[in-house]
Structure 1
Amino acid sequence: MTEAPKHDTVLDTGAEQLGTTYARALIAAAQKEGVADQVVQQLGRMVDEYLSQSPQLAASFASPRIDADEKCRVLDRIFGDEFHPILIKFLKVMASRDRLGYVAAVRRASETQLDEMLGRLVATVRTAVPLEDAMRSQIAERLSALLHREVRLKETVDPDLIGGMVIRIGDTVYDSSVVNRIDKMQKKAKAGFSSQLLKRFDEFVQDKT
């Protein structure tokens, strides 16, 4: 009888519990070296930039037909020069226990646990186009000043939200959508779009103070 691949899906009721357990171990190890934030960020990049973009790689991580040694070689080859040794070692432990298919669950749990430990708020930012680095930093800084708490941005892109953004923190929603200006915004350069978006962000933040 062939064993089914261990995929992290909504049908796997044990995924979140397993992710929580492994996340605690990862954060504990990373904290000893003072790199918890860095390691958790890198794990997020691995899920978003590699596994999400390569179904073949994700399937190989989850497949019981690929042995642990081969998975470890893949980890070294793809991530060894880019990610922190603590994260690589942790992922190899997961591979040795045939749990590498649950990386996404570990990522979710580790972000939640680290945010709670640091007293950090999570702001979900929905925009029509991906944020530029400078704008991302300014939004985080201004939200932190407004709320007197460190804020981590969780970004999503919604092409229908032309010319604006929606920020959600817990049950509070800050809405600065300007859909009625679609035509004008489409003609603006990327830098011009960011400038307008940041101006509107300032306006609704000031309204909250």
Structure 2
Amino acid sequence: MSIYTVASRYAKSLLGLSQEQGNVDAVKADIEQIIAVIQANSQLQTVLKNPIISADKKYAILTALFDGKVNPLILSFFSILVKKGRGDLLLDIAQEFIREYNEAKGIVKATVVSATALSENNLNNLASKIANEINAQVVLTNTVDPSLIGGFVVRIGDRQVDASIAGKLNKLEKFFVNQGV
């Protein structure tokens, strides 16, 4: 079974449990915190992936890190994960949980790459226009790539809209090459 399939099943289970208990938003906030901690700590990632370290030891480490800081449901979930030998997939499962949560709430993540940083007003206007186009709530992040020269590139899932000067110049170059000019 692929990592994605396993992560998706566990994430859906956690999402379903948190929905039943009526604390989905709190669990999501805790999961975001857990993702940040795991990504920032390579030693924790190594411990979780090490098959030699016992499940009890892994759970004790997770409990020491997160007890009293996250919803008890999450700690119970950790217990199940490590006992089933899936501690190595904790980060993947947490990230999949966020994706599942966003899908359930109709939230779409998008990225806009621009030659210079966009103002908060421009980001909000662009997010609003994208939201109207795709009929979903949009969380837009901005990254800067000076090689675009001007304009921007918007990525939503597997779709991309290139409205950059560099992109237009590349299209123009390909046109001339195909025309034999």
Per the TM superposition, whether the score is higher than 0.5 is: yes
User: What is the CA distance between 1:141 and its match in structure 2?
Assistant: 6.2
Give the drift of 1:25.
0.8
| Mapping of residues 177-188 of structure 1, within 5 Å | none
Larger Rg: 2
CA contact (8 A) 1:140 1:152 kept: no
TM-score using structure 1 length:
0.60
**C-alpha contact (below 8 Å) 2:116/2:146 kept by paired residues:** no
How many pairs does the alignment contain? 163
Q: TM-score when scaled to structure 2?
A: 0.68
State the one-letter code of the partner of 1:36.
V
Distance between the aligned counterparts of 1:93 and 1:59, measured in 2? 19
Distance 1:87 1:124, change over 3 A: farther
- Cα shift readout 1:52-98 (whole Å, capped 9, x = no counterpart): 22211101011122212222221122122322222222122101111
Does the CA-based 8 Å contact 2:127-2:139 persist in structure 1?
Answer: no
Q: C-alpha displacement at 1:157, in angstroms?
A: 4.7
Secondary structure of 1:52 counterpart: helix
- Per-residue CA deviation, residues 140-194 of structure 1 (Å, 9 max, x unaligned), is 86354665422234x475565699864322424265789xxxxxxxxxxxxxxxx
- Matched residue, 2:107: 120
- Structure number with higher strand proportion: 2
Cα displacement string for residues 30-56 of structure 1 (whole angstroms, at most 9, x for unaligned residues):
111223244234324423x22222211
Change (3 A) 1:75 1:117: same
Give the aligned residue type for 1:30.
S
User: Following the alignment from structure 1 to structure 2, what is the Cα–Cα distance between the partners of residues 130 and 62?
Assistant: 38
Aligned pair in 2 of structure 1 residues 38, 173: CA closer, same or farther (>3 Å)? farther
Percentage of identical aligned residues: 22
More helix by share: 2
